[in-house]
Structure 1
Amino acid sequence: MGGLMPGPRKEYVDAFDTSEALDCDGEDVFAAGAPGAPRRARADGADGMDADADEGEDEPQEAAGAAKGGKGRTFTGVAAAAVTTVLAVVVAGQVANGPQQDSGNSARAQGGADRTDAAGDDGNGERAARSAPTTPAPKAPSYGALMTRKFPLDPKLSGSGAFTTVPGQDKGTGRGRVLRYRVDVEKGLPLDGKLFAEAVHKTLNDDRSWGHGGTRSFDRVSSGRADFVITLASPGTTAKWCLKSGLDTTQDNVSCDSASTERVMINAYRWAQGAKTFGDDKMHAYRQMLINHEVGHRLGNNHEICSRQGALAPVMMQQTKFLTTDGVTCRPNAWPYPR
């Protein structure tokens, strides 16, 4: 077994087994009380005699066995040296074996600690990654939320006069007469053209609008033939296109159906800012009214007035300007056929 200590060499063992370990008369020099054997006197004098008294009693014995004691002390010295050597060998063996075992244990302990630490770090890192709160990406505002917002726009803005078509197409309800329309937005206008196109399509195909009862369906197209073009333009550009049909929109910054052209003009300022008649809390409804009112003109409908106090205003009433006619005030309304 690798962990056993090496025994004493044979020559040291023989030194204890031979008769040389005895004195010339055959007496064991290590026996208790033998002449020349070392005395184990207690330093505190517990045997009842002090050191001087012990020395006095030993003098006759030492004189009588002087010759024999000399040889005994010689052998005693040899034996003591042998014992010392054996102990040195044993201790050396322990020292030689001890560090290897300790080193292995230390290495194993250290390795175990390292593995534990590494696993702990990896594990903690993974757990921390899994448990760490992640910040979700902000959600884009919904259509309904955007339709309630006001957007900044200069009431005197005059744009480039060039238009871009909102790409894509949308089918209508598929019931009744199908009308095809396109949505154009003036280039450089700081408004969302896609939101505008979505609002036009949803408004016109609502059953409260001009397709009520399945009489019409409105399909949005971005190419090919279109029955009319709903156009979002700056106040300056709107005025120019409305003037082509003899309409003045500059006085109240309103919209128009430029009947002599293909364009139904929606004033971007009104689309962005609304009107006092509807207030800030009815922006969505006001925008629906703008679309229905101007498309109503394209479909051949003329202006109407409020006929009864407190009634919903006819959608063809000029609600951007007023809600009262001949002393009768109506409530704002976005639909030709409100429920």
Structure 2
Amino acid sequence: MADGTPAHGFPQARGGHPEQREAGGGWGELRGGGVPIPRQRRASVPAPRQEYLDAFDEEDDVFAPRTPASAHAADAYASVTDWNDGSPAGIHSDDDDDGAAPTGTPAPVKGTKGRTFTGIAAAAVTTVLAVIVAGQVTDDSGGADVQSQSATDQARDIRDSASRADGQAPAPGPSAKPLTYDEKMGRTYQLGATFKGSGKFDAVPGIAEAPGAGEEFTYRVDVEQGLGLDAELFAEAVQKTLNDQRSWAHNGARTFERIYSGKPDFVITLASPGTTADWCAKSGLDTTVDNVSCDSAATERVMINAYRWAQGSETYGDKIHAYRQMLINHEVGHRLGYGHVTCDKDGSLAPVMQQQTKFLDHDGIRCRANPWPYPGS
């Protein structure tokens, strides 16, 4: 209809219903191009220096070959148990040759020196042996881990080198593709049915020019603070819906422009259920029944209940996009002067001014959900 009058219903008085090891392994890397220390290598005992030989008698010469125990001195790395012939700690005295107990006066001082030196030499050999054995044990216990760590480090170095050779950084993981307008409008969002916000509003920044040449209406979009809903999505939905040819802009009769500053003709407000009820009560409307929205005609605000915007209604089921379009058209329809009507034929589309949040069927007549004033356009 050229004048924008809805397909069903007639203009009424304003006032809507309530509605997250280093390279070379744990032991580091050999430096200066050296070779690894060989394991269990046997080493010959070096010949004694002459000054040491001159200090002892022949019988006290700890470096002279002895039988049987001294035979092992040529092999510093022979088994520890081979050295033990009954003397404490494997240390041999001068009296061990005849096996008899010591008699007479104490041995000369130089003999004492020989036994003392013998003990020192044996202790030194024992210490060297202990260090070698400990090194072998450590090498055996840690060798597997070090080898594994080195293999891992090598693999990482090869991978990183390949990336640097290509001149490219490692490719980032796949990023999520932003949702489209229709995808966002097709989703429900969390918001409690009894939630009451702060009552403070923020105007959504930006403007959206009127696309048509008909009677122009300016509006601002306010969103209550703390809702956690997408304010820009809400503002985009209002502009797209009102200027759709199936809406009140039908046939060029009207055009709607969103402004940010200045005085608008009305303010479309997205608010919590509790705040919606407060503003609707200013115009004598009770939105607590069925938790609905309203056009608070005594004020500048057209109130859209954020619970319904986020969750929809049983009458529309999972058709949340269409339901949101109906909410906008219905409440702005009240601001334009249209009142409530119902469908009058079984199976027909419900008029946009029918209270579709509350019901579709009435008096034995089954109505079909419809979000548009002029659905056939």
Write the mapping of 1:294-305 to structure 2, written as runs, cut at 5 A: 294-305=331-342
Out of 182, 186, 204, the position equivalent to 2:242 is: 204
**Secondary structure of residue in 1 paired with 2:310:** helix
Q: Supply the distance in 1 between the matched residues of 2:183 and 2:261 (Cα, whole angstroms).
A: 30
1:224 matches 2:258: no
SS at match of 1:178: strand
Residues of 2 paired with 1:225 and 1:215: CA distance?
22
CA contact (8 A) 2:345 2:367 kept: yes
User: Which structure is higher in helix share?
Assistant: 1
Match for residue 308 of structure 2?
270
Match of 2:357 in 1: 320
CA RMSD of aligned residues (A): 1.8
Match of 2:374? 337
Q: Distance in 1 between matches of 2:321 and 2:205?
A: 23
SS of corresponding position for 1:145:
helix
Q: Give the share of equivalent positions with the same residue, in percent.
A: 62
Per the alignment, residue 155 of structure 2 pairs with: none
TM-score of the superposition, structure 2-length normalised? 0.56
SS at match of 2:184: helix
Q: Cα deviations across residues 42-73 of structure 1 (Å, max 9, x unaligned)? A: xxxxxxxxxxxxxxxxxxxxxxxxxxxxxxxx
Once the two structures are superposed, what CA deviation does each residue of 1:151-203 show, in whole Å capped at 9, x if it has no partner? Answer: 11110001111111000000122320110000001111111111100000100
Q: Which whole-Å deviations, capped at 9, do the CAs of 1:235-287 have from their partners, x for residues lacking one?
A: 0000010011011100100000000000000000000000000002x000000
| Deviation of the 1:312 alpha carbon | 1.0
Counterparts of 2:302 and 2:200, CA distance in 1: 15
Report what 2:298 is aligned to.
260
Correspondences of 1:1-339 after superposition (within 5 Å): 124-126=162-164, 130=168, 133-280=171-318, 282-339=319-376
How many residues are aligned here?
219
TM-score (norm 1): 0.62
Q: For the residues of structure 1 that align with 2:190 and 2:159, how far apart are their CA atoms?
A: 53
User: Which amino acid in 2 is paired with 1:253?
Assistant: N
Q: Structure 1 pair 212/138, CA: closer, same or farther in 2 (3 Å)?
A: same
Distance 1:189 1:123 in 2: 50
Write the letter of the residue equivalent to 1:319: Q
Structure 1 residue 121, shift from structure 2 partner: 9.4
Query: Gaps (5+ residues) in structure 1?
Result: 1-119
Which segments of 5 or more consecutive residues in structure 2 lack a partner in the other structure? 1-157
What CA deviation, in whole Å up to 9, does each residue of 1:128-160 have, x standing for no partner? 565964434322211110101111111000111
Q: Aligned equivalents of 1:200 and 1:295: distance in 2?
A: 10
* Larger Rg computed on CA atoms: 1
Give yes or no for contact 2:163–2:169 (8 Å, CA) kept in 1: no
